Amino acid sequence: MAQSRFATEPKLTDNARMIAEKRYLKLEPDGSVKETPREMFARVARFIASGDSDTSDKKKDYSRPSQKEIEELENSFFEIQANLEFLSGMSLLDRGKEDLVAACYVLPIHDNIESIYGTLANAVVLHRRGAGIGYDFSEIRPEGETVSTTGREASGPISFMKLYDFSSEVIMNRGAVRHAGHMGILRIDHPDIRKFISAKQDYSQLTNFNISIAITDEFADALKKGTSYNLQHDGKVYGQISAEEVLNEIAASIHRSGEPGFIFVDEINRHNPTLHIGRMTSTNQCGEQPLLPYEACNLGSVVLNRFVIQDKRKQDVPAKDKIDWDRLAYVVKTAVHFLDNTITVSQHLLPEIEKMVKHGNRKIGIGVMGWADMLYELEIPYNSKEALELAETVMKFIKEKGHEKSQELGERKGDFGNFKGSKWDKEGYKHMRNATVTTIAPTGTTSLLADCNGGIEPFFALAYVRKNMETMGDTEMVYVNKYLEQKLKDEWLYDKELMRRIAGTGTLASFDKIPDRVKKVFVSAFDISPEWHIRMQAAFQKYTDNAVSKTINMPEEASVEDVAEAFRLAASLDLKGLTIYRDKSRDQQVLNLHNSK
């Protein structure tokens, strides 16, 4: 009888069904698929809703909900998933084991062998379960420094990054849920920074790592003034170096290899909600989630294009009047409850993580995907002032509704453990269940399941091949933009030969047959200047508690100076992180034009 409550049949594309079978659906012991997507969403809804019956993380006067209330919660959780309005990848990746872990963690590394190898052991435990982990290697003394206990020279932070990378390849990836992913971070003022900058220019090195440089206010000020800054470690100054010279080295490395990225560590801590218990010095593997040591965050994303009111789509009214704000508010609030419960039902694996995540800060991250889809449907160019204004409007609304729900849960279930003395306490909030509520993640295969574009990215191309995806083997998927296809049919311009030619270039820029008013709306990543990419990230960051995962795409012909200028703009707009990628700077990339080899 309970099964009949979950009657909505998810409308999945063929590609989405393939993703579900390869990655998410429950399996029989022989590896065959055991359930349908509808049954999967029902199973996940029941499991996550069970968190309301658990009293281990609730305040003393919390009363368990009735069976009817639990069933209503299950219905809500099922509905927003089955309608593809909200999805959380790690909840789906569990495949029915009810042995859930978070997607992202940060572990500490101190300047001693016990810490380095102890953290490596903990990383193995987490990675085998599919988690990505970030580390700040800045505490490790520079290469060549004398080790007092042995009298020998230290090998430096990069040597230990290579140790972690080797362990990932030989140990962690065997039998792991998904490929091990690390984020390695080093401060811009560490004496080994120049070695770090070039650490991944050889593609055979650190293959399981993303690397980012922690940018300080001191460096940013020196760059602005055209002066030098100190290289230092543990109170010792090793010399000075020109900020401009270092930025140029970084820009040249990014131009060649797409790395390193940046985190603006002082800006991150200006918004740290629990600064009273520690500074954040690292992020998860994709950079959108700054975390304290032993913290984790549970992420999920609202599918924005699902909230465009189709009957109003072509009406001559402001874009904001074409969005179903009531439904969006409901989904956001339900999603906050969903992610908070995810913390309760998850296995935190290490006692330090259990303490920090479940009883300390309870960070969650509601994000978005399908932003580019929404803009196409509303016929708003991504690279326009109107798009930036709508981005701020949408994200401000999501943040406000998310915070409202977190306050409500805090009052009913109990505030996060470190609430007293936190940013929220100081700002006069009476309750808050979660130290953070919003994050914009890259979404990856989750967006393929929802049949939308990932995160807040523009479409990579109007037709492309997706390959080299983790856990998908040699599978290649060809995507043709459905919105453009429909628009060309509406304009009586569609024909298969035209679509074949578009698939070869990925953009409309060179097609004289297509009107400028259509080209203006249907832009792809390389039609958009880096400035617009960065300003879009800044618009969303303004109302995001954590950080924003966004790739600043540059065409193959972009210069090193273009990369440096993008950094300067990002620093001026108070971003928390920055990732720049020049097309074809790597031999293998996930998104490729139809005629790319």
83-110 pLDDT, tens per residue? 999 999 989 988 888 888 888 899 999 9
CA 98, CA 144: separation in Å to the nearest integer? 48
Which residue, of 396, 429, 444, is where some domain finishes? 444
Same domain, 257 and 395: no
**Higher local confidence (pLDDT), 503 or 379:** 379
Where does 385-490 show beta strands of DSSP type E?
Answer: 463-466, 477-480
Q: Where a domain ends, among 258, 283, 308?
A: 283
Condensed to tens digits (0 to 9), the pLDDT of residues 217-235 reads 999 999 999 999 999 999 9
* Parent domain of 333: 2-101+297-444
pLDDT at 171: 65
The active-site residue out of 122, 272, 284, 553 is: 284
* Average pLDDT across the chain, whole number: 91
> Does the pLDDT at position 3 exceed 70?
no
Same domain, 116 and 264: yes
What would the two tokens of residue 535 be?
Answer: 């300003």
- pLDDT (0 to 100) of residue 228: 98
User: Which of the residue ranges 208-212, 269-273, 564-568 would you say has the lowest mean pLDDT?
Assistant: 208-212
Question: How far is Cα 13 from Cα 416, in angstroms, rounded to an integer?
Answer: 39
Greater confidence (540 vs 23) lies with 540
208 is catalytic: no
Structure confidence at residue 2 (pLDDT): 42
Of the residues 139, 288, 295, 377, which is catalytic? Answer: 288
pTM exceeding 0.85 = yes
- Are residue 132 and residue 60 in the same domain, yes or no? no
**75 in the same domain as 193:** no
Query: Is the model's pLDDT at 594 over the cut of 60?
Result: no
pLDDT at 597: 42
CATH code, 249? 3.20.70.20
Express the helix, strand and coil content of the chain in percent, nearest 5 each: 45, 15, 40
pLDDT tier for residue 207 given thresholds of 50, 70 and 90: confident
How large is the average pLDDT for residues 185-206?
92
Q: Give a yes or no: residue 401 inside a domain.
A: yes
71 is catalytic: no
Over residues 499-528, the pLDDT tens digits come to 878 878 889 988 998 999 999 999 999 899
Of the chain, the percentage scoring pLDDT greater than 70 comes to 93
Q: Single out the residue in 428, 444, 460 at which a domain terminates.
A: 444
- Do 90 and 122 fall into the same domain? no
Q: CA torsion angle for 306, 308, 311, 316 (degrees, to 10)?
A: -160
**Predicted pLDDT of residue 208:** 87
- Asked if residue 534 belongs to a domain, the reply is no
Residue 338 has pLDDT above 80, yes or no: yes
Residue 572 placed within a domain? no
Are 97 and 108 members of one domain?
no
- Is the pLDDT assigned to residue 61 strictly greater than 70? yes
Q: What mean pLDDT do residues 330-353 have? A: 96
**Do residues 167 and 120 lie in contact, with contact meaning Cβ atoms separated by under 8 Å?**
yes
Check pLDDT > 70 for residue 176: no
Query: How far is 597 from 590, CA to CA, in rounded Å?
Result: 12
Is position 269 within any domain?
A: yes
- What confidence category does residue 596 fall into, taking pLDDT thresholds of 50, 70 and 90? very low
Count: domains in the chain: 2
Is 288 a catalytic site residue?
yes
Split at pLDDT 50, 70, 90, the class of 5 is confident
pLDDT band of residue 128 (cuts 50, 70, 90) is confident
Residues 433, 304 within the same domain:
yes
pLDDT at 334 over 70: yes
Domain-embedded: residue 66:
yes
**Residues 415 and 431 occupy one common structural domain:** yes
* 312, 321, 379, 518 from 316: Cα distances, Å: 8, 10, 11, 17
Assess contact for 544 and 436: CB atoms under 8 A. no
Indicate whether 461 belongs to any domain: no
In a domain, 508, yes or no: no
111 with 254, same domain: the answer is yes
Residue 214 belongs to some domain of the structure: yes
Mean pLDDT of 371-380: 97
Residue located via tokens 């879009």: 536
Q: How confident is the model at residue 470 (pLDDT cuts 50, 70, 90)?
A: low
